[in-house]
Amino acid sequence: MRGRDRIQYKTLDQVKLMRGAGLIVADALDAVRAALAPGLTTASLDKIANEVIVGANAIPSFLNYGHPPYPATLCISVNDEVVHGIPGSRVLEAGDVVSVDCGAVLKGWHGDSAFTAVVPAAPGFDDPRSPAQVAEDAALVDVTEQALWHGIAAIVAGDRLNAVGAAVEDLVGDRFGLVEEYGGHGIGTEMHQEPHVLNYRTRDRGPRLRPGICLAVEPMLTLGDPATKTLADDWTVATNDGRRAAHWEHSVALLDDGLWVLTARDGGAAALNALGAKVSALAG
């Protein structure tokens, strides 16, 4: 533990342990993505992820986390919900924008990742959204994912942590609302560690980015105003104006020879190579 924010810098062996947790998270999210369909409850998706994680001899990071204790394996946030939506009896409909956040701990090390997708229409049925809304939702999901990868690429291209938020803000511009109340974080033997990773430009340059730092980068964008509120369950965060939101996340390690995205199956190689970012040989 060194640095002004007492950052937990990891050895290569420790990062490899985190990769094990990251791949379990990837497996769980892949299973949920494959199952996503109208008529399913969010609780049924949560059960799928739980079975994958427990079946891999890992522990869901979110379950019983915090105060009040979080009651599920996943956070599933639908439409105007930004993050921390609690799975339950809600039935998904075609055209819903669904953000799925998952964490797992294996041998004491955490992985954390999220994706956003639109629930596809069932075969033989039309998408209930207007063409304009289809395009709007698709752009929201796509730009949020792009912002994630640009933020990750900045870890290796930049000198200080504020490079991440600057890269996200530059990519988003004024096309969407950029949620500022929530951001990314360090990750390792705890799910949330120092430093806090902002998704916007700040004058505070933040700690130096050097090998051994592991970060969860997670931009959140909205179709309207980015202001949010916490709902009565004390967990779910939703937009004030009821407009839709998207959330993407990966856990990333900065190594001597470049970046390794621990929760991406290809280690982040495809997306980062396309951006010209230096990728670790371990990313394959």
Domain 12-283 in CATH 3.90.230.10? yes
The pTM for the full model equals 0.96
Q: State residue 150's pLDDT score.
A: 98
Q: State residue 2's pLDDT score.
A: 43
pLDDT at 106 over 60: yes
C-alpha dihedral (111, 104, 219, 154), degrees to nearest 10:
0
Least confident of 7-11, 170-174, 197-201, 203-207: 203-207
What is the rounded distance in angstroms from the CA atom of residue 128 to the CA atom of residue 108?
Answer: 44
171 to 164, 175, 197, 215: CA distances (angstroms): 11, 9, 16, 19
pLDDT in tens, 114-128: 999 999 999 999 999
What is the rounded distance in angstroms from the CA atom of residue 39 to the CA atom of residue 25?
Answer: 24
pLDDT in tens, 136-194: 999 999 999 999 999 999 999 878 999 999 999 999 999 999 999 999 999 999 999 99
Q: State residue 5's pLDDT score.
A: 52
pLDDT at 284 over 90: no
With contact defined as beta carbons under 8 Å apart, do 245 and 218 qualify?
no
In terms of C-beta density within 10 A (0-12 exposed, 13-18 middle, 19 or more buried), how is residue 36 classed? middle
